Amino acid sequence: MSSKHTYAEWRARAAALSIEGRAFIDGGYVDAVSGKTFDCINPANGAVLARIAECDAEDAEYAVAAARHAFEAGVWSRMAPRERKTVLIRFAQLIEDHTEELSLLESLDAGKPIGDTTRIDIPAAVRCVRFNGEAVDKLYDEVAPTPDDALGLVTREPVGVVAAIVPWNFPILMASWKFAPALAAGNSVILKPSEKAPLTAIRIARLAQQAGIPNGVFNVLPGFGGTVGKALALHMDVDCVAFTGSTAVGKQIMQYAGQSNLKRAWMECGGKTPNIVFADCPDLDAAARAAAFGIFYNQGEMCTAGSRLLVAASIKDAFLEKVIAAGEAMQPGDPLDPATRMGAIVDDIQLDRVMGYIEAGRAGGATLRLGGERVMNETGGYFIAPTIFDNVTNDMKIAREEIFGPVLSTIAFTDEAEAIRIANDSPYGLAAAVWTSNLSRGHRVARRLRAGSVWVNCFDEGDMTVPFGGYKQSGNGRDKSLHAIDKYVELKATWIDLSR
């Protein structure tokens, strides 16, 4: 199996890859109408991996027309649910069969460790597509409790053409959280991957077609957000835009929806997760490992990154030593080396951003306890050492803004009320974690935390059966679970008069 490959074998396989960079519209790979391309860079060495079609508004027109045509034709939208199920399960299987190739593309494109892409990203995307496929013919509609002389039917119908605009940190997984429930519900989808990591989205378009998804139902438009992304979000014939990305861009997309056709706009945005460790934590070693993993996994490029470590003052110093030891063990390495636990930052822009926050932490008076520098410069890639600050206060820039890199801020608290106050004092509300042996406290604090996910005595757990999404400026709507399908359907009420 693929995870058994050595470093040398992965490099040889990477060198032998043939990479597709064109858009996928109406069942075929095509260049952008303008003929323009942009370079796709490997963040582990700065080398050009492929030239990618730079789609723009004109390409969006073609894709929307194809998606609308397929939707109206009913080739997918009116296909029997059990047949849609069969196709989606076949699509999941094809993704699984291509785990090795897709893992390589994801690692090369986004700098993610190959051990993670093979074991986490691709299998999770497979589970997502399979879950939604399996659900299709098990969802029943409703008959309303009307008076006896009427029949009220409450039915779900696909919303139409869905644009899915996604980020680069989990390229195939974030895409699957959108396109799988949207397709399951019978919609036509236009996927706009991030310009920083478009390769797996482009590749799976062909797999979708091979699985039997009709032409025009699944399209992929690579390109920049301000051009093709904006064109989709403003388009009068797109019925829904499902977005994962930064809060700033999410706000813009909601404006585009308002400026155009009031399309349904679902936002999954940034986070500043508080990870709260009480003095009665049941296992400080496990909590310390989880705290390090929670901020350094995926190079800290996580919407749920546990970037604010809130620790009871009575144990803070001893606990922080354990977190530092766990963090030290996560030094970055080549993403293609199976031993690597932390890979490359996605590009030079993100690297500069994260380094700017580290500088702000120092200048703001926080105490640097680990890392704080760019490393592995000789590779030509973008690597940052795991970085830990102590003596952070919640009003500092590094505690308020999403850094999206391997930078941890440690904040001390004195009692439960203060921990909750600090945790909730953030514009974000994506996730939170609580470590305590006290059952009542665990539940009590979980209830008080204004976050879409709360983990008790663990960090970043969940699976396809539980919804995922944010409170406050972390977004609206939910990905995953059966609730995700609600975003891609209209509820129709049909009232039938039975009196005559």
Instruction: Kindly list the residues in this chain that would bind ligand NAD in the complex (CB under 6 A).
Output: 165-169, 174, 192, 194-195, 224-226, 229-230, 233, 244-246, 249, 252-253, 268-271, 303, 402, 404, 430, 470, 474-475
State the CB neighbour count (10 A cutoff) for residue 426.
24
Q: Are 390 and 367 spatial neighbours (Cβ–Cβ below 8 Å)?
A: yes
Active site residue 458: no
| Min separation Cβ 435 and ligand NAD, Å | 23
Q: Is 268 a catalytic residue?
A: yes
- Cβ closest to ligand NAD, residue 79 vs residue 240: 240
In angstroms, what is the minimal distance from the CB of 404 to ligand NAD?
5
Q: What is the DSSP letter of 487?
A: G
331: its two tokens: 């030094």
Q: Which of 106, 303, 402, 416 is catalytic?
A: 303
Q: Quote the strand ranges of 6-114, DSSP E.
A: 23-25, 28-30, 37-41, 48-53
Q: Buried (b) or exposed (e) across 307-333, using 16+ Cβ within 10 A? A: bbbbbbeebbeebbebbbebbeebbbb
Closer CB to ligand NAD, 22 or 472, in the complex:
472
Return the ∠ at Cα 275 (arms to 352 and 172), rounded to 5°: 55
Contact 155, 141 (CB under 8 A): yes
Q: At its nearest, how many Å lie between ligand NAD and the CB of residue 107?
A: 17
CB of 469 to ligand NAD, least distance (A): 7
**Dist. CA 281–CA 275, nearest whole Å:** 12
Closer Cβ to ligand NAD, 187 or 244, answer by number: 244
Q: How far is the CB of 81 from ligand NAD (least distance, A)?
A: 27
**442 versus 477: smaller Cβ distance to ligand NAD:** 477
Nearest-approach distance from CB 207 to ligand NAD, in angstroms: 21
Q: How far is CA 309 from CA 9, 19, 254, 270, 293, in A?
A: 39, 41, 32, 17, 12
By DSSP bridging, strand 264-268 and strand 240-244 are parallel
Catalytic residue among 195, 268, 402, 416: 268
Identity of the residue, 248 or 313, whose beta carbon is nearer to ligand NAD in the bound complex: 248
Q: For ligand NAD, which residue has the nearest CB?
A: 225
Cβ closer to ligand NAD: 49 or 164?
A: 164
DSSP 153-218: EEEEEE-SEEEEE--SSSHHHHHHHHHHHHHHTT-EEEEE--TTS-HHHHHHHHHHHHHTPPTTTE
Is the torsion defined by CA of 127, 132, 138, 140 positive or negative?
A: positive
Tokens found for residue 380? 């030509």
Catalytic residue positions? 268, 303
